[in-house]
Amino acid sequence: LGVVAIVMLAEICKGIYFNLSFWYKLTDKTYWGAYFSVIGCVIIVVLNILFVPVYGYLASAWASVAGYAVILLLSYWIGQKEYPIRYDLKSLGLYVLLAAVLYVIGERVPIPNLVLRLAFRTVLLLLFIAYIIKKDLPLSQIPVINRFIKKK
Residues 4 and 76 in one domain: yes
Q: How high is the mean pLDDT of the chain?
A: 91
Say if residue 1's pLDDT is above 60. Answer: yes
* Tally of structural domains, the chain: 2
Residues 3 and 78 in one domain: yes
Domain residues for 107? 88-152
Kindly state the average pLDDT of the residues 119-132.
95
Last residue of one domain, picked from the residues 65, 85, 105: 85
86-116: b or e for each residue (b if 16 or more CB lie within 10 Å)? eeeeeeeeebeeeeeebeeebeeeeeeeeee
Which residues, other chains included, contact 1 with Cβ-Cβ below 8 Å and sequence gap of 6+? none
Residues 80 and 5 in one domain: yes
Residue type, 2: G
Last residue of one domain, picked from the residues 85, 117, 136: 85
Residues 49 and 114 in one domain: no
Task: For the beta carbon of residue 3, count every other beta carbon within 10 angstroms.
Answer: 13
Last residue of one domain, picked from the residues 85, 108, 142: 85
pTM to 2 decimal places: 0.76
Residues 121 and 69 in one domain: no
- How big is the chain by its Cα radius of gyration, in Å? 20
